[in-house]
Structure 1
Amino acid sequence: MLDKISGVYGPTAAGKLKSKRDRPSPARDVRGDGAEFSSFAVELAKASAELKKIPDVREQLVDDFKKRIAEGTYSPDLNSVARSLINAGLLDQKD
């Protein structure tokens, strides 16, 4: 029995160990650093980029209103304006 123990811990025991080169390496992810985006995220990014191209103010419409106001020909529907203000929470509705 002593021979078995000395065989494990003796000078030749180290030769029985496999070097790292002989061992199979664990599977590795060779893609490296990076990210994968879903098709929804890609479409969302495209839509966001297109949205940034649209101006915040429709200049032609604003110029048309300015012209009509200056000429005195602009007459808004006041009920529609009041309804829009109430719906937007900018005006309290009085019964």
Structure 2
Amino acid sequence: MIDKIHGIYGPSPVGKVNGKKHSGRSASEETDGVEFSSFAKELAKARVELKKIPDVRLDKVEDFKKQIQDGQYRPDMNKVAECLIRAGLLDKEE
């Protein structure tokens, strides 16, 4: 059965493990580094700025609350229906 695993030629011989190859430079010269593209830097800046913006526009929320409390909120029902159809909520029958 072992000959089926290794094929007809058998297992390959194991050789000596080579140690770390030295490039002739000192340890202080051999440093790893990361360099980011200008696009990546701009993207990082944009993310920082985006985190400063709140997820909820409280001024809009307060405006809608006031309209609802005063009975003045009148949503466009065609727009609401269109959004429901797009979301597939009207397809579900309960």
Report runs of 4+ in structure 1 exceeding 6 Å deviation. Answer: none
Please state how far the C-alpha of 1:43 moved relative to its aligned partner: 0.8
Alignment RMSD (CA, Å): 2.5
**Aligned CA distance change for structure 1 residues 81 and 42 (closer, same or farther; 3 Å):** same
Distance in 2 between the 1:31 and 1:79 partners? Answer: 66
Distance in 1 between the 2:57 and 2:80 partners? Answer: 19
Which residue of structure 1 aligns with residue 66 of structure 2? 67
Equivalent residue pairs, number: 69
Please state how far the C-alpha of 1:40 moved relative to its aligned partner: 1.1
> 5 Å matches for 1:52-91?
52-87=51-86, 89-91=87-89
What SS does structure 2 have at the residue aligned with 1:61? helix
Which consecutive residues of structure 2, in runs of 5 or more, have no partner in the other structure? 1-22
Distance in 1 between the 2:49 and 2:61 partners? Answer: 22
Distance in 2 between the 1:90 and 1:42 partners? Answer: 40
Please state how far the C-alpha of 1:32 moved relative to its aligned partner: 1.9
- What percent identity do the matched residue pairs reach? 57
Distance in 2 between the 1:42 and 1:61 partners? Answer: 33
The letter of the residue matching 1:34 is: G
The letter of the residue matching 1:49 is: V
Please state how far the C-alpha of 1:31 moved relative to its aligned partner: 6.7
Which consecutive residues of structure 1, in runs of 5 or more, have no partner in the other structure? 1-24
